[in-house]
Amino acid sequence: MVWLSGYAYEATRKEWNETITVTGNYPYTKCTAPTSLTINNANNFVKPGGTLSLTWSGAGEGKGGNSVKEYKVWYRVGTNGNWVEKTTSNTNIEFTLPSNATRGATIETCVRAIGSVAGYDSDDFYGEEGKVNKLPSAPTVVSVSQDKIASTSTNNKVTFTLTPGTDTDS
């Protein structure tokens, strides 16, 4: 190993000859961080115990042949929640939210490109925020139609029309 200008180079030396063959593509630079990180769930809402689906793009290789080898991806529920990490070579990933995730809490996401040269990874890129679904409101009775309710006839009927509640977050 030969040190030149602060960089380590692999080198070979011919016997009794001062010729040195330098191999390597120094200096290396960091991979570039992704420029987009998207939550693929409808309206960025995920139910507790549901699947959080993420996609990202825009990462690039650094100088010296430092290509993107893989990605580290994180999410957390709430601004003080613990980050959950996965590693993948793809540009998409899925996480399963805990079944006890607080409804209405913010979901934060982050991705980093990991370079093929150790120590030359991209900076973190914080992506879209999502929400853990809140419970929908209770259904409400819209109309009641009554026909011969007091009769003992076989044609007695009561018809209820219910309108489903709406999600308070959407």
| Residue 170 sits in the same domain as residue 126 | no
| Residue 103 sits in the same domain as residue 161 | no
Within a domain: residue 18? no
Examine the pLDDT at 90 and tell me if it is beyond 60: yes
| Residue 43 sits in the same domain as residue 127 | yes
State the amino acid at position 63 in one-letter form: K
| Range of weakest confidence among 4-18, 98-112, 131-145 | 4-18
User: Regarding predicted confidence, which is higher, 21 or 57?
Assistant: 57
pTM of the model: 0.66
Query: For residue 105, what pLDDT is reported?
Result: 92
Distances from the Cα of 165 to the Cαs of 133, 138, 139, 142, in angstroms?
14, 5, 4, 11
Mean pLDDT of the chain: 77
Query: 117: domain range?
Result: 36-132
| Residue 128 sits in the same domain as residue 94 | yes
Query: For residue 1, what pLDDT is reported?
Result: 40
Within a domain: residue 29? no
Half-sphere exposure of 161 (CA within 13 A, CB side): 5
| Range of weakest confidence among 18-22, 33-37, 97-101 | 18-22
Examine the pLDDT at 8 and tell me if it is beyond 50: no
Within a domain: residue 118? yes
pLDDT category of residue 145 using cuts at 50, 70 and 90: low
| Number of domains the chain is built from | 2
| Residue 126 sits in the same domain as residue 155 | no
| Residue 67 sits in the same domain as residue 47 | yes
State the DSSP H helix or E strand holding residue 57, giving kind and residue range, or none if neither.
Answer: strand 51-57
Within a domain: residue 97? yes
| Residue 105 sits in the same domain as residue 168 | no
| Residue 91 sits in the same domain as residue 41 | yes
Within a domain: residue 151? yes
100 - beta bridge partners? none
Token code pair at residue 144: 């009641």
